[in-house]
Structure formats: C-alpha cells, structure tokens
Structure 1
Amino acid sequence: MTAIERIEHWGDAHHPAWLDIVRIGLGLLLFFKGMSFIGDTSQLSALTEGLHFNAWSYVAVHYVAFAHLVGGLLITLGCLTRLASALQVPILFVAVFFTNIRNGFTAVNSELWLSLVVLVLLIVFWIIGSGKFSFDEYVRNHPAYKMK
C-alpha cells in the first residue's frame, strides 16, 4: 500500500458526517464565488494586475472562474472531491499569500481570512475525501457500479 493509498484509507475511515455539511457549504461558496467572478471580471482582473503577470492575467481570470464553478459544483456533490480540492489549492494559495496579504493581517481584511479558511478546508478535504453523503460513496457502494 502506497503512502497516498494509506492517506486515502485514513481519510475515508475518519470522516464524521458533520463534515459533509461543511463540504457542501464550501462547494457552494466556491461555486458562487466563481459566479461573482464571471459577473464582474474586472474585480478579478484588478486582483491579478498587482501580481505583474501581464499576459497571464487574462488566462488567470478565466482559469479561476472556471475552476471555482466546476470545482465548487464537484465538491458540493462529493464527486471527485480530492481532485477538485487539489485543483483549487493553487488558486487559494495565490489568493492568500500574494493577492490578499498586501492589505495585512487585520480584522478588516475579511477577504484574506475567508481565503485562508477556504484554503485550510480545501487541504482538509483533499486529505479526507468526500465522506458518507456523496456521489463518490454512492458509486462505491451501488451494486450496478461494483467491479465484477
């Protein structure tokens, strides 16, 4: 058993049901954040301008919006939760350590704190997986999807 398989097994064995509610809330938050980025791309462009990516800001805006929409939906449903969380982590890492930190660690900088909490939750769900009330669990236990 590889290290990754051991981590997945540990995560599947130690997943309380209340974390499914947190997972669904996290997924909805990411989905609606993606919707707000699509609705106002100038806000996301302004955030990426300070990073001096130049040509990459256009790509970054679209990647972040798409990743939040699709990843948020997948996390909400509990489908490929580990993969969806892993794809979100780089976005939140940049948001926490490069974009939002410029305003400082103050109580007023709520965007930084929200990004930090979401980053921690994504890492948690990357490790422990989707849980009992998820599409992944349904597929794993449904007789029609069992390996023959």
Structure 2
Amino acid sequence: MNNVKELNKWANAHTYFTLDLVRIALGVFLFVKGVYFITNIPYLVDLISPIDNIGGGMFLVHYITPAHMIGGIMIAFGLLTRWAIIAQLPILIGAVLVNFMGEMHTESLFLALVTLAVCFFFLVYGSGKNSADYYFKMYQ
C-alpha cells in the first residue's frame, strides 16, 4: 500500500495537463471501441474466432464490451483509474495475441500495442491531479 501512496505522491508532484489529456483520450477511445463492439457483435465474434476453440467465446463477448465502455468512462474521468486499467489489460494482451494466432492485421496490432503501452504507463502513473480520484481524496 505504501508503494501506491508513493507513486501517487510522485505523480501528483509531476502532473502535466497533456498527460491528463492523454488519459482522457485513452478513456474516450476505449469507450468508443466498446460502443463499436456492442453495435457490431459479428465483427467482435470474428475478431476473437482464433481463440474461440479454447472456450468461453460468449464470455469474452460479454466481458470485452462492458469492460471497454465502463472502463473507458472511468479512465476518462480519472475514477479508480488503476482498477479500470487492470480490467483492460487482459483484453489488450488478448488483442495483441489474436494477431499472432489468426490473420495478422498490422494496423490493429499497432493500435493494440500503443493502447497497451499507454495503459501500462497509466497503471504506474495513476490518474494525476486533474481527476476524480484526486478530487475525492482532497475533499473528503
């Protein structure tokens, strides 16, 4: 627990508005991706078809879309950012692996790798000063 507090103190001391904009953009991107998946279920089923033989295909469909939508909103507002990103990590790692197991789509592989890298950054950095987490912590 002390490590998280130390990371929060460091992040709050080194907060930049551009990083908050990147966090908000990540949240909006994940939310839009979740909306796209929920409106285009056959596309999502086609995406996860290389790992569907493992089992749990319908579970994945019902996990990916709400996790992207709810997690995207939480990340954009900076509310429980680390927990929301932890929920995104299995999806993003799976998005990278699906490109190697099935047909290779370089643009979606690049997008998944960039999103995964940004998520890892915010997993360590946290939500920053301009977030709901900071607001609730300061005004309890």
2 CA distance for matches of 1:21 and 1:2?
27
- Structure 2 SS opposite 1:51: helix
Structure 1 residue 141: deviation in Å? 1.7
Q: Which amino acid is 2:120 matched to?
A: I
Q: Note the residue ranges of structure 1 that are not aligned, 5 or more in a row.
A: none
1:45-94 Cα shifts (integer Å, max 9, x gaps): 11111113454010001100010000000001110011111110111011
CA contact (8 A) 1:12 1:128 kept: no
Contact 1:14/1:128 (8 A) holds in 2: no
* Structure 1 residue ranges (4+ consecutive) displaced by more than 4 angstroms after TM superposition: none
**Secondary structure in 2 matching 1:79:** coil
| Residue in 2 that maps onto 1:72 | 72
Q: Normalized per residue, which structure has more helix?
A: 2
CA distance in 2, matches of 1:9, 1:120: 22
Distance 1:60 1:124 in 2: 25
Q: Tell me: CA distance 1:136–1:4, structure 2 relative to 1, closer, same or farther (3 Å).
A: closer
Secondary structure in 2 matching 1:15 = coil
Distance (whole Å) between structure 2 residues aligned to residue 8 and residue 140 of structure 1: 11
- 2: CA distance between counterparts of 1:49 and 1:129? 33
Q: Which amino acid aligns with 1:133?
A: N
**CA distance in 1 between partners of 2:61 and 2:68 (Å):** 11
Task: State how far apart, in whole Å, the 2-side matches of 1:53 and 1:134 are.
Answer: 41
Aligned length: 139
Give 2:132's aligned residue.
135
CA distance in 1, matches of 2:136, 2:41: 37
User: After the TM superposition, which residues 21-100 of structure 1 pair with which residues of structure 2 at under 5 Å, given as runs?
Assistant: 21-53=21-53, 55-96=55-96, 98-100=97-99
